Structure 1
Amino acid sequence: MQLHITTYGTYLHVKDAMFDVRRKGEDGKVISATYSAEKVTHILLATGTSLSTDAVRLAMRHNVDVVFIEQQGDPIGRVWHAKLGSTTKIRKRQLEASLGADGLRWIRTWLLAKLDNQTGFIRDLKKHRPQHANYLDDKLVRLQALSLSINTVEPLAGRPACVAEVADTLRGLEGTAGRLYFETLSYVLPPDYRFSGRSSRPAQDAFNAFLNYGYGMLYGKVEKTLMLAGLDPYLGFLHRDDYNQLSMVYDFIEPYRGWADEVVFRLFSAKKVNKSHIGEVSGSRSGYSLNAAGKELLVNAFNEFLDNDPIRYRGRNLVRSHCIQLDAHQFANELIGKTGGPPDMIKL
């Protein structure tokens, strides 16, 4: 169970050894609900909410993840226990891999998995949209060509085999693939829901507002997953090592972004989203963000998709959140030589 607390003024504390969530209703009366610490796995608190130190202590005792998020869903910090929880050898090898051929192999694996999942999703869309077959076939051919380019790009002769030597090329290929992919999703949506490419901070349309919030939720899940596996979420291979940049989160998340895409697309294609789910963003740049109703709609759908809808993965029936954890532990083990290297493809 996740406690996703976003309503302004809501307070989380402890009552009878349980989490107690309180807020004032529209009539001014206090609304309260209690939850067993043994059943809660994550607590997400948006800006404008608060919690007690007793609630933090109860969460730590039960290994409950506490994440602080922006109202748009992006994680801004988390409460974590004081122990590393794994060997430092993993992080040392992660740094070494980032500078050599191992890092390049992993980046290829993650990017190719992302494109493979995107093309798989488009093929699924094609099954139910024969009127768009020619358009979708063209996009599939172009995405497959980009996959081939990513798989074969190499540093110039005499240059070391590492991500740094081909980073700009890989980013360019990935960016082109992303534009084609989102053009395709927009094209097959009902006309009222179509959008003009990706936009963030703020989103320029409802679809991107939902997508940005979904990615924000996924960032938080991936960060925790990496930490549980003993990996450094800041030490990436492809994404730049800027100040406070969760570079490995942005690298490792690539194969799983399609899950957020799929959930959001389903909501829009089923016409479950309307104007009551979004609000306008004021400031120097105008745009849109999810309101409380929109967040509730997406959070429930995404959590159901990640935690209660098993898929067949590597010979096992697993919920998607466990697939991410399995991949993170495999990545960590392969860094320290417990298995034989990156898989050919992560298919989800």
Structure 2
Amino acid sequence: MATDKGGAWFTVAGHGAHIRATRDYLTIRRGGREEQIRVNTLDHLIVIGGHTLHTSAVISLSRAGIPISFFDADGKAAGRIALRGDCYQERLREAQRRASKHNYALVFAKAGVDSRILAIERYGHSHGWSLLYEGELDLLQSSREEIQYLVRMEEIRRLHKYLRDMYYEIMARTLPPELGFRRRTERPHRDPVNAMLSFGYAVLFGVAGTMVAAAGLDPCAGVLHDGDDGLIRDIIDGFQPVMVDETVFSMAREGIAETAYEIGERRCYLSDDLIGELLPRLHRSIREEAVAAVVRDYCDALLKGNVFSPVY
């Protein structure tokens, strides 16, 4: 079956796939299944884990100017065939260094706040508005409008953190109180919900980290978030509510047995059974192509001057 993946970063994950190509089609065969993608619709091939890559695929993608990035099973970068030229990554990282941090930080901050407000509104429309105290939603929305007028980076980060903390405290009211989740805490966590959120964020972080590395971006050149892997944290911030939080909160509302976790002297330990239930749900809710699209748009904005309007 041939499929169009328009402007796509196509990912082959897991293990055991055979990857071949003709001039027109990339073919991935695994077990008894075969998928074909038109080469002229691809932007990037990402190979994660152990697979067989035939020289026909390398030659075909090379002629089409499509890069191939390789990662081990844990998502750690293992190599890259930089078919766009050796200077591509240098140009991209130089563009990162020269870009206006303020402008991009505003975009990421608004995206994260919008995503959290929408999550609250979705819950309110489907379950009722008892989760909100009087005036809270108005405060969130008015504060969101203030972000675009902030000039100093510290002000943007401070307001973003304040609204994010407020979101967690609001959503905590929708969960069974016996789980002990009141707000987002620093590690080590003392309740299962915070521990599950951190687990989910780690999975999402791995997906985004792979995409950032494949693009050739500097992961430490964050704009809204400082420090190591700041750019990855920028990118996933707006995805956390819909791709991780809703999954974790849904499981918490369904009920988590006391035997599914253990609260020790210093931290909460999740059982293998609980992780085994959570992980497949995360695999369904974390949409790799949506993350890749934001990374792609960021690269295009840096190199081509396109307006950066990520879709979260």
TM bucket normalised to smaller: 0.7 to 0.9
Contact 1:276 1:293 in 2 (8 A): no
Match of 2:291 among 324, 331, 344: 324
Q: CA RMSD in A?
A: 3.0
Residue in 1 that maps onto 2:59 = none
Match of 1:235 among 208, 211, 221: 221
Instruction: Tell me, in whole angstroms, the C-alpha distance in 1 between the residues paired with 2:101 and 2:162.
Output: 22
Compared with structure 1, are the counterparts of its residues 178 and 300 closer, same or farther at alpha carbon in structure 2 (3 Å cutoff)? same
Residue in 1 that maps onto 2:199 = 213
Compared with structure 1, are the counterparts of its residues 170 and 294 closer, same or farther at alpha carbon in structure 2 (3 Å cutoff)? same
SS, match of residue 152 in structure 1:
coil
Contact 2:69 2:214 in 1 (8 A): no
Compared with structure 1, are the counterparts of its residues 304 and 233 closer, same or farther at alpha carbon in structure 2 (3 Å cutoff)? same
Structure 1 residue 293 corresponds to structure 2 residue 273: yes
Match of 2:240 among 229, 243, 257: 257
Contact 2:116 2:167 in 1 (8 A): yes
Contact 1:67 1:220 in 2 (8 A): no
Contact 1:60 1:80 in 2 (8 A): no
Contact 1:91 1:231 in 2 (8 A): yes
Runs of 4+ in 1 over 3 A off after TM superposition: 38-43, 58-65, 82-86, 279-282
Match of 2:124 among 123, 126, 145: 126
Residue in 2 that maps onto 1:304 = 284
| Number of residue pairs aligned between Structure 1 and Structure 2 | 261
- Partner letter of residue 289 of structure 1? Y
Query: Which runs of 5 or more residues in structure 2 are unaligned?
Result: 1-11, 19-29, 36-45, 55-67
Match of 1:246 among 229, 233, 251: 229
Match of 1:110 among 92, 108, 111: 108
Instruction: Tell me, in whole angstroms, the C-alpha distance in 1 between the residues paired with 2:263 and 2:48.
Output: 29
Compared with structure 1, are the counterparts of its residues 41 and 296 closer, same or farther at alpha carbon in structure 2 (3 Å cutoff)? farther
Residue in 1 that maps onto 2:136 = 139
CA drift of 1:187 comes to 0.7
CA drift of 1:170 comes to 1.7
- Partner letter of residue 274 of structure 1? A
Residue in 2 that maps onto 1:276 = 259
CA drift of 1:121 comes to 0.8
Contact 2:131 2:174 in 1 (8 A): no
CA drift of 1:200 comes to 3.4
Compared with structure 1, are the counterparts of its residues 42 and 18 closer, same or farther at alpha carbon in structure 2 (3 Å cutoff)? closer
Residue in 2 that maps onto 1:65 = 71
TM-score by length of 1: 0.66
Identity percentage over the alignment? 19
CA drift of 1:128 comes to 2.8
Query: Which runs of 5 or more residues in structure 1 are unaligned?
Result: 4-13, 20-34, 44-54, 69-76, 155-165, 307-319
SS, match of residue 81 in structure 1:
strand
SS, match of residue 198 in structure 2:
helix
